[in-house]
Amino acid sequence: MKIHKKAPRPRKLYCHLFGHQYHVSKKVTSHVNEYTCACCKKQLTTNSDGDLTELTPKFREINSILENMYMRKRERSGSPVFSASGY
């Protein structure tokens, strides 16, 4: 019995051979970012240990709540607030 594997798409093949090319897609706080690969569109985020992990719906919700809390804190302290949508 032959097992046929699907051939990776060209963009995923590039990432598989040469590695991902991550760019900051959203700055949640000053130390938490969301990243997107320019080739295959894979999304990652910074977890509580500072390591990169896949951006699941759970982490997306956590980042959203964290961003709201961070923005409110910065507004109360009078510090300049950066716009996360500008990234």
Kindly state whether residue 82 falls inside one of the protein's structural domains.
no
Residue 85 has pLDDT above 70, yes or no: no
Residue 52 has pLDDT above 90, yes or no: yes
Cβ-based burial of 41 (10 A; exposed 0-12, middle 13-18, buried ≥19): exposed
Kindly state whether residue 60 falls inside one of the protein's structural domains.
yes
Kindly state whether residue 3 falls inside one of the protein's structural domains.
no
Residue 87 has pLDDT above 60, yes or no: no
Domain residue limits at 27:
21-74
Kindly state whether residue 42 falls inside one of the protein's structural domains.
yes
The number of domains in the chain is 1
Kindly state whether residue 16 falls inside one of the protein's structural domains.
no
Kindly state whether residue 87 falls inside one of the protein's structural domains.
no
Kindly state whether residue 70 falls inside one of the protein's structural domains.
yes
Model confidence at 84, in pLDDT bands (50, 70, 90)?
low
Please report the pLDDT score of residue 10 as a whole number. 72
Task: Please tell me the pTM assigned to this model.
Answer: 0.73
Q: Running DSSP on this structure, what letter comes out for residue 34?
A: E
Please report the pLDDT score of residue 42 as a whole number. 94
Average pLDDT score over residue span 25-50? 93
Mapping DSSP to helix (H, G, I), strand (E, B) and coil, where does residue 68 land? helix
